[in-house]
Amino acid sequence: MTIIEKIIARHSNRGKVVPGEIVDVTIDVRLARDFGGANVVRNLLGNNLGIADPGRTWFTFDCNPTGSDQQYAANQHYCRQFARANNISVFDIDSGIGTHLAIDQGLAVPGDTLVSTDSHANILGAIGCFGQGMGDRDIAAAWANGAVWFKVPETVRITLTGTCPAGLAAKDIALNLLKHFGAASLLGYSVELDGEAVERFSLDERITIASMATELGAIILFIPPGDEVIDHCAKVSGRSFTPVYADPDAVYAREYSLNLESFEQVVSLPGQPHNVVPVSRVEGKPVDSVFIGSCTNGRMEDMRTAARMLQGRKIAPGVVLKIVPATNTVWNECLKEGLIDIFKQGGALVSNAGCAGCASGQVGQNGPGEVTISTGNRNFTGKQGKGEVYLASPALAVAAALAGYICRPENIPPEPLELPEPPEQAKSPLLPEAQVNPPVASSEKPTLLEGRIWLIPEDNIDTDMIYHNRHLAVTDFSEMGRYAFGNLKGWENFAREARPGDIIIAGRNFGCGSSRQQAVDCFKALGIQAIVARSFGAIYERNAINAGFPVLTFGNQDTIDLETGDVVVIDLGKSMLLNRKKGIKISLHPFSEVQLKIYRSGDLLKMC
């Protein structure tokens, strides 16, 4: 078996599992963050559910540790009260990013299972632990049952050969993988990364690379644990454990061999993490701000890289440098080593530990027309503000802060770029108010769904396009519909024009990105009947299934002769889409047994 097959088999009391099999998996570590935590509590209380094992259950307040948003503050307090009443531990606003805490506090060890409302929970692959980001229904079910259903994925093995070129950072390796595989070719796979160079990666480097699995579309990216990782996990956990490695005769869906010597320093262009180009393509581009942090690059090695380059220097006039360590432990180590002083002397803003720029309203966000270099893992439009965001390694980010423009570390000029004339700022329209249509009420779940379609044939429609992160603090289901597609260019009026019973037809990798449940519930709130797409983001598909919301994928058709406004019938029983007017029948992949069961129940939590 592969690594993921072994871990799932161990946690489902089976001797062996195979790809495609659906099993109930015991979850060792169960986390909920501050934006998803309130909805987890709401789901538990609304369904009269308890906590299976409070000792394995934690809140992690990492999205808004500064308390700068009233709704976040209210949600955090709500979760604290629930935690006190149910003997649940809280990693509060002074702690840092939950997935990093799970590694550094020894909550999880190699071979364990972990779930979180964080879509980057698969960062635990860095220590050989199966981590998975899930929506609030999934997490509520895990808290109540101690287990969740999971479909065993196929595994892809990637072997890195050769020697790392000088100056190549772990972030560069992650971005080069994105450049090679794109956002969807590994969609739904578990990935194992190996090779002699991989074995030498430090824990911090492993975390950086594993944290980008979600952007690759993968379920998780495993890096088999070496001695350093095993020693670290044993020390911080105080536990004995048996790491999990793939069998020599494990079966892989695909295998790749990539030579590290072909990798180079790169950046992701604004809007799409996988739109990766060599630094030379954008060298000289003026920047306004730089962000160093996030779950991808907020570790101690990243802080030391930044300090080493800033030592005795000042950032360019007009450039803002924001540095946010991943955890309070990293922050304190920076203080102990004198790095905080170097950052401040260099002109940086240093904030308390947490997710920072990846959460709306936090340190790292930018304004309209602002150009930012970020060490985060995503640069979806609107994700980190209203400006342009380039993704890069800490070294490239600091180089840009010192030069005033994008450049390689070895090319930092003696004098920074003179301040350019500011561009004329385009008017930034507010999100239009949208009428909320009530969801369709029905005493029985129909197997024939007839409705008008919205044809949105774009690929990689991410969750920030579907439901922007500035609305994540909304917990009232009835309010969510008005924000559907509010950040998808050309479809901002969707929520006002949609009618109950409508059906959405979309492209590949629909719902990639975050684990936010609202990206499903906003359509339910509008009364949308179903979404049919070429493929779905793995977490999004789970969230929809668990909400009893029909999501289906097309068969093998290359072209689909449908237009917006066509009225179609979806036959769930026959896995068919029919356009009676045009006489067209289109085959769909059938519901799984689990999906059908949850659909008939109306919600995963009705089955708990």
| Per-residue pLDDT tens digits for 84-116 | 999 999 999 999 999 999 999 999 999 999 999
Other Cβ atoms closer than 10 A to 249: 6
What is the mean predicted confidence (pLDDT) over 117-128? Answer: 96
Nearest partner of 253 among 191, 182, 184, 195, judged by Cα: 191
Residue located via tokens 């632990």: 129
Provide the 10 A C-beta neighbour count for residue 281.
12
Which DSSP helix (H) or strand (E) runs through 553? strand 551-553
Q: Tell me the C-alpha to C-alpha distance, in Å, between residue 122 and each of 21, 296, 491, 513.
A: 20, 12, 31, 12
Q: How many CA atoms lie within 13 A of 85 on its CB side?
A: 10
- Tell me: pLDDT of 427 over 50: no
Read off the pLDDT of residues 50-90 as tens digits, 9 standing for 90 and up. Answer: 999 999 999 999 988 876 777 888 899 999 999 999 999 99
Entry pTM: 0.87
Query: So what's the pLDDT on residue 423?
Result: 57
The pLDDT of residue 34 is 87
Per-residue pLDDT, averaged over 224-237, amounts to 97
User: By mean pLDDT, which of 128-137, 193-202, 402-411, 424-433 is the weakest?
Assistant: 424-433
**Residue 364 · residue 291 · CB < 8 Å:** yes
Q: What share of the chain is helix, strand, coil (3-state, %, to 5)?
A: 35, 20, 45
Contact between 188 and 216 under an 8 Å Cβ cutoff? The reply is: no
Confidence of residue 560 (pLDDT cuts 50, 70, 90): confident
Instruction: Name the strand (E) or helix (H) holding 519.
Output: helix 518-526
CA distances from 343 to 257, 518, 545 (A): 40, 38, 46
The DSSP string of 56-98 is GEEEE--S-TT--SHHHHHHHHHHHHHHHHHT-EEE-TTTB-H
Q: Tell whether the model's pLDDT for residue 434 goes beyond 60.
A: no
* pLDDT number for residue 63: 87
Digit-coded pLDDT (tens) for 272-291: 999 999 999 999 999 999 99
Domains and CATH numbers, the chain: 3-262 (3.30.499.10), 275-411 (3.30.499.10), 448-607 (3.20.19.10)
The pLDDT > 70 percentage for the chain reads 95
Q: Mean pLDDT over all residues of the chain?
A: 92
Of the two residues 45 and 437, the one the predictor is more confident about is 45
- C-alpha 198/C-alpha 174 separation (Å) is 12
Please report the pLDDT score of residue 424 as a whole number: 57
**pLDDT surpasses 80 at 324:** yes
The dihedral region occupied by 373, where left means phi > 0, alpha psi between -120 and 50, and beta the remainder, is: beta
Helix (H, G, I), strand (E, B) or coil at 328: helix
